Amino acid sequence: MTTLADLFPAGDYRFHLTLRRGAPRDFFGAQDPSGRILAERARWIAENPARHVALLPAGEALLAEVADIAAAEWGYGRFSTAAELGERLEPDMLLLSPDATGAFRLQGGALCFPTGWALEDKLGQSMDFIHGAVPGLNAALASPIHQFLSRLKPGVAFFRDNWGVVASDELNLHPARQIAAPSLPLDLEHLWLRVEHQALLALPHTKGVLFGIRIALHRLDEVVRDPTVAAGFRHALATMPPEMAVYKRLDGIREKLIECVSNRAGF
Ligand code: HEM
């Protein structure tokens, strides 16, 4: 399990391909006894299925393999549709497979809690296209990401995390919802560190890859109570390239946020 301090490794902000190994069931198995996550997922899928669920013909075999693994290894009952994939499992579930050139493409999945992106914009697209929205990411990591996906061994999950700062505790940040970016004046009680816990799992029969995402929200006033986390967070904000701050919708608040974190943490 990662701690918040792990999100901000020593050194300046940079892209990294740090992946930890773990048991797939620890991520893909049920974790929320309250049932709130599944209830919200079902609500979004019922309200707007086209926005939250998609499956290309090339995704059908991937979905069937995930359903088999989910039944055999993660404690789920049988299911067969992409909507059921989205309603039965707590993480967002994205299905990828290599095309004739070996490039991994998004073939479908269920995405109820996107961090500012739309499934319909990325469906059928390659990893390079998908990551093209992130300034500098392809230049830094496209090749290592491709190598990693191509060599993924079955039976073990690989975990990584992304983080951002948001002004809403909504799980679903689909662009069509137009949820406002953080803005001035700042109030740490109404800002959240939004962490995407991600898992990658090889699908050995179809040679595909399953990409799972779970969202965790941490109120910023609580986050900065830990001096190590506060120092790492502040340094990441201060050293993030300007174009990345724009991408993360932090450009308008970055300076004030650094000041606020420093004051709260007593630096
Ligand atoms: C395997 C290693 C991977 C790495 C290192 C990686 C890294 C990243 C990073 C650093 C970002 C920027 C997020 C931020 O800082 O706010 C990002 C965004 C994103 N990644 Fe990945 N990623 C990986 C795999 C994948 C896979 C398999 C998918 C499959 C769909 C994916 C889909 C996305 C999407 C949709 C975004 C948001 C793009 C947008 O805003 O339009 N990533 N990724």
Residues 72-86: pLDDT tens digits?
999 999 999 999 999
Assigned domain for 4 exists:
no
Percent of the chain residues past pLDDT 70, beyond the cut: 100
Number of domains comprising the chain? 1
For residue 109, the cross-strand partners are: 54, 94
pLDDT value at 44 more than 80: yes
pLDDT per position as a tens digit, 89-132: 999 999 999 999 999 999 999 999 999 999 999 999 999 999 99
| Helix ranges (DSSP H) in the chain | 24-28, 36-47, 49-52, 60-73, 82-88, 119-122, 127-131, 137-151, 220-223, 227-239, 242-247, 254-265
The answer to whether 158 and 18 have CB atoms below 8 angstroms apart is no
Residue 157 lies in a domain: yes
Any domain includes 97: yes
- Residue 130's closest CA among 138, 210, 169? 138
Q: Report if residue 258 sits inside a domain.
A: yes
Alpha-carbon distance of 194 to 200, in angstroms, equals 19
> Does the pLDDT of residue 1 top 80, yes or no?
no
Average pLDDT (134-140) is 98
Sign of CA dihedral 238, 239, 242, 246: negative
Euclidean distance between CA atoms 164 and 184, whole angstroms: 17
- Structural domain includes residue 161: yes
Is residue 72 within 8 Å of residue 27, measured between CB atoms?
no
CB-based pocket (< 6 A), ligand 1: 15, 17, 94, 96, 106, 116-117, 122, 130-131, 133-134, 137, 141, 145, 148, 162, 164, 200, 211, 248
Q: Collapse the DSSP code of 98 into the 3-class scheme (helix H, G, I; strand E, B; otherwise coil) and give the result.
A: strand
Q: For residue 257, is it within any domain? A: yes
248 pLDDT band, cuts 50/70/90, is very high
Residue 2: inside a domain: no
Residue 223: what pLDDT? 97
List the one residue out of 57, 76, 59, 55 whose CA is nearest residue 67.
76
Which residue has tokens 């974790």? 31
State the DSSP string of 99-113.
-TTS-EEEEEEE-SS
Q: Which domain holds residue 210?
A: 12-265
In this structure, the residue with its CA closest to atom 13 of ligand 1 is: 162
Return all residues near 58 (Cβ < 8 A) that are at least 6 apart: 97, 105, 107
pLDDT of residue 129: 98
Q: Mean of the per-residue pLDDT values for the chain?
A: 97
The DSSP code sequence of 154-186 is: TT-EEEEEEEEEES---S-B-GGG-PPPP-SSP
Tokens of 229: 């986390």
> Which tokens belong to 218?
């941490």
Which two three-digit tokens encode residue 100? 């004739």
Percent of the chain with pLDDT over 90: 98
Q: Is residue 188 part of a domain?
A: yes
Give me ligand 1 centre to Cα 234, in Å. 22
Distance 266 CA to ligand 1 centre (A): 34
Question: Which pLDDT score is estimated for 73?
Answer: 98
13 confidence band (pLDDT: 50, 70, 90): very high
Which atom of ligand 1 is least distant from the CA of 106? 30
If we measure between CA atoms, which residue out of 143, 151, 146 comes closest to residue 207?
151
What phi and psi values does residue 17 have, to the nearest 5 degrees? -110, 60
pLDDT of residue 2: 82
Q: Whose CA is nearest to atom 5 of ligand 1?
A: 17
